[in-house]
Amino acid sequence: MTAVDLTALARDIGCESLVPLPRDVSPRQYYRGRQKGRSIVVMTYPLTVESGAELRQFIRLARWLAQKGIRTPAVYAEDMTNNRAVIEDLGDTSFGKALKAGADRAELYTLAADALRHLRGAGVPDNLEPFEHSRIRRNVRQMNDYYVAFTRGQAAPEGLTKDFLEIWNQIEKSLPPCPRGFLHGDYHLENLMLLEKGEGLARCALIDFQDALEGPLPYDLVNLLEDARMDVPDELSQNLIARYCEGMSAKEEEIFRLWYRVLGTQFHCRVIGLFIKLAAEQGRDEYLIHISRLQNYIKKGVEHPALAPLKGWLAKEGVDFAPIKDLNGAEIREKFRMMDKK
């Protein structure tokens, strides 16, 4: 990682000083300072063509969302030569942090769901990647590549993965067309900022939306309400699904709920593999505590009639979602190390 000359960066931006903010798993870096009497954040990307495209997408979508009445960090200045931008400082209080500090759970989740309901009728900006072609959809195979491989102690044959993916294709093709629109793609409490000023939607700001997609609308809502890292009371979830569906016809709501269940279970299949992968390849064992929650989501989800083909395939192949005793990263890494040797 290249060290950043904060003095030079602050001088270029027009600040007295900049303070680094905690990093996430992306290549982005953030710095806080003051410019023209206001608190600002400098967002920097590596100097690559790919990162430049991501920054331009962030700026484009920030402005599109703002035009649609959704709060995002305002973009004060952009420097595409150096792959950086000066953006509004939204503070440090994510919805997740607010919840941990004692904020009302129902109020936070209602506000988050209302932002999605508002976006339901917002349309889609030009040139968004379709969900079906996205890395998110492709990576549903991670359940086989990592979870099934770990539980069996051997790499899943490519033929098994091909059958698994074909089951999902069959399920999706069996459903009526799903309502489509703008998808954030990673809609959870840490990507929502709670703002001090304003009322209603003005208190909810979206971040980390640069990988947005065009696709089935239930995806973001099920990400929120069936978070892989946090339990949401079932009564609250059902109330918010009903709230989101207000204004739909009975048939439209039926289709929405059908896709909600299918997309939710597909999401959990991808993420249960992702969390094993993160432990195996990056030593990020903190995600392993959520495996049992994902197992329960999948076991419950496949009881839906629409997912009968998946339930049958799991039973036929002996894919087990029983609790894993003493799950630990060291064991996972050793198993995958041995698989790599074969």
- Domain containing 225 equals 95-341
Domain total for the chain? 2
In a domain, 1, yes or no: no
pLDDT digits 0-9 by tens, 55-80? 999 999 999 999 999 999 999 999 99
Cα gap 316→310, rounded to integer Å: 10
Q: Residue 2's pLDDT is what?
A: 59
> Of the candidates 51, 69, 88, which is a domain's last residue?
88
In this structure, the answer to whether residues 106 and 55 fall within a common structural domain is no
Cα 205 versus chain centre, distance:
15
Asked if 26 and 161 sit in the same domain, the reply is no
Residues 284 and 328: beta-carbon distance below 8 Å: no
- 121-140 exposure pattern, b = at least 16 Cβ within 10 A, e = fewer: eeebbeebbebeebebbebb
Where are the alpha helices (H) located in 86-217, listed in sequence order? 95-100, 105-120, 135-138, 142, 149-152, 158-174
The string of DSSP codes covering 251-287 is HHHHHHHHHHHHHHHHHHHHHHHHHHHHHHHH--GGG
Inside any domain, residue 188 = yes
- Identify the segments of the chain with pLDDT beneath 70: 1-3, 25, 342
Look up the CATH number of the domain holding residue 182: 3.90.1200.10
The reply to whether 264 falls in a domain is yes
Residues 49 and 104 in one domain: no
Same domain, yes or no: 56 and 174: no
Last residue of a domain, one of 28, 53, 88: 88
Domain C-terminal end among 88, 113, 143? 88
- Do 178 and 289 lie in one domain? The reply is yes
- The verdict on 79 and 159 lying in the same domain is no
CATH number for the domain spanning 32: value is 3.30.200.20
pLDDT of amino acid 4: 81
Q: Are residues 121 and 246 in the same domain?
A: yes
Minimal CA–CA distance to 139: which of 174, 171, 147? 147
Both 267 and 169 in one domain: the answer is yes
128 and 258 in a single domain? The answer is yes
Residues 53 and 130 in one domain: no
Q: What is the pLDDT of residue 292?
A: 97
